[in-house]
Amino acid sequence: MDSLHHTPQQTKQQRGITLVEACITLAILAVLVCGAAPSFSSLIERQRLAGFAAQLATDVQFVRSASVWRNEPLRLSFYNAAWGSCYVVHSGARNQCSCAEYETAAVCTGNAAQLKTVSVPASGGLSVQANVSSILFDPLHGTSTPTGTLRVASATVGSIHHIVNVLGRVRTCTPSGSPALPGYRTC
């Protein structure tokens, strides 16, 4: 009877994971991360480009509004230097203000006064350029002269252009020859 009534062997139940399973999981995870890293850095760079382009478009509208509100002609001027590029919202003539260094306010002379300075270091991979050195916004008519194309460029993912018309309105696009940026029309 003893042989019929034997107790089953107790099996040890494993809790957690073994070292081999952990190593295999980490190896698979490392392969996935290494495959995703280039596209992730490209995504981050596109977001930086889009964010800076949105800031520039907003600043164009700010200059236009501030000119009317203050009843004073205001200017959006662009400068390039060895350390990078910048733009300045200011009163007075273009040659009365300039960007002296990265992360400092513009230096203005005479009766000119800067309202805003945005600096873009070359080391950051972004730059701002324009086909005009300065755009003047007229407070009486709300117009801008001359018209111009403002370019925010990334060394790795392309560029975004803002085309400012005579009414001071901005049309945003990407050039046809540059890499496609989702959400933007082609120029």
User: Domains of the chain (ranges plus CATH)?
Assistant: 19-72+120-186 (3.55.40)
Residue 16 has a pLDDT of 73
pLDDT greater than 80 at residue 115: yes
The answer to whether the CB of 99 falls within 8 A of the CB of 79 is: yes
Rounded to whole angstroms, how far apart are CA atoms 155 and 123? Answer: 10
Average pLDDT for the chain: 85
Which is nearest to 174 in space by CA: 17, 53, 14, 16?
A: 53
Indicate if the alpha-carbon torsion angle 139, 143, 148, 149 is positive or negative. positive
Against a cut of 0.75, is the pTM above it? yes
Phi, psi dihedrals of residue 73, rounded to the nearest 5°:
-65, 130
Rounded to whole angstroms, how far apart are CA atoms 156 and 91? Answer: 35
Q: Is the peptide bond before 121 cis (omega within 30 degrees of 0)?
A: no
pLDDT band at 157 (very low <50, low <70, confident <90, very high): confident
Label the pairing between strands 74-81 and 84-90: antiparallel
pLDDT greater than 80 at residue 37: no
pLDDT band at 19 (very low <50, low <70, confident <90, very high): confident
Model confidence over 69-83: pLDDT tens digits? Answer: 999 999 999 998 888
